[in-house]
Amino acid sequence: MAGRDEVPADPEVRAVPVITDEVADGVARCEDADDGVTECEAVLHGRTFSYLRAGTGGPTVVLLHGLAGDSETWRPVLPLLAEHATVIAPDLLGHGRSAKPRSGDYSVGSYAAGLRDLLVALDLDRATIIGHSFGGGVAMQFAYQFPEATERLVLVASGGLGHEVTPALRAATIPGSVLTLRLITALTPKWVGNLVHRVLRAVPPIAGNDLEEVARAVTSLADHGARSAFVHTARSALDIGGQRLDATEKLYLTEHIPLLLITGDADVCIPAQHSIDAHEQVENSRLSVFEGSGHFPHLDDPERFAGEVAAFLRETVAATDGREHLRAHLVEAG
């Protein structure tokens, strides 16, 4: 699904209808897939945003993928979550089938604002935000910037909760990394995938789904726009020493928002201890550790993942009056 028909003339946030055979909510072109997941595309600020959608009832749940990933990482859990909620899984700017502008703002704050714009365009006022890895950092930033739109937070192997991160991601911040990635991805996708599998198998222990997802991510960087977006995004959040962005100092601002942390105890990308420490820091938060899982617990055990999220939705009360709670916390801290 590609293309854009026109650019918004109104300075207010809104999407422009893409005229096709099937239109959802008047703002997006959508096509139903065989697995019951709907593939959609909207235009915001003159740029294409792609997302997956499933379910038609219950609370709204947004799924945010990680760095160099896309919405496809959620495909196994989308039908399961759709039994309990209306689920939206966007491709972040610079990723997947969404636009990859050379002049794009790839900061965490801009990603959070872009998500707000998409939800407003789709007439979705509030949502439970689930973020994986880098998407976890975006989810937390969204909660800080738009507390009135955040009902719950689920952080999955989340970034932004500690300094340590895999050396492979730190390497993306080194000068010359764009050229290196271009040379690597100039190979055929199949060759790149085989190479990544061989290298990662030599780094025990690493979960099988981690192998597949890393290989898929590296292959996606064959696209120049995706490669540039990856490096810009990585440099906004990381440096050679590790994660630059630390959300732990602001976690107290989300104490009124129900929080679930999910991690795999075999994660070699972001240590599970980061999620454990965050759970201990936030009173009444929930923690679920997937034994034997790596960086993608939602792929290692989709049924358990969907069950944990469904129970979280069912057993917690959605946050309200987010701005008042935020103001109270800020005044007290000041």
Q: Which residues are catalytic?
A: 133, 267, 295
Beta bridge partners of 38: 32, 53
Cβ atoms of residues 219 and 185 within 8 Å: yes
Find tokens 């740029």 and name the residue.
Answer: 47
Q: What is the DSSP letter of 145?
A: H
Distance CA 75, CA 180 (A): 30
Cβ atoms of residues 75 and 37 within 8 Å: yes
- Residues in the chain, total: 334
Instruction: Tell me the pairing of strands 150-156 and 47-54.
Output: unpaired
Q: What is the DSSP letter of 250?
A: G
- What is the phi-psi region of residue 110: left when phi exceeds 0, alpha when psi lies from -120 to 50, beta otherwise? alpha
Closest CA to 308 of 260, 256, 267, 264: 260
φ/ψ of residue 98, rounded to 5: -75, 165
φ/ψ of residue 114, rounded to 5: -65, -40
Distance CA 178, CA 152 (A): 37
Cβ atoms of residues 62 and 102 within 8 Å: no
Tokens of 63: 């799924």
Cβ atoms of residues 191 and 297 within 8 Å: no
Instruction: Tell me the pairing of strands 23-24 and 28-32.
Output: antiparallel
Radius of gyration, alpha carbons of the chain: 19
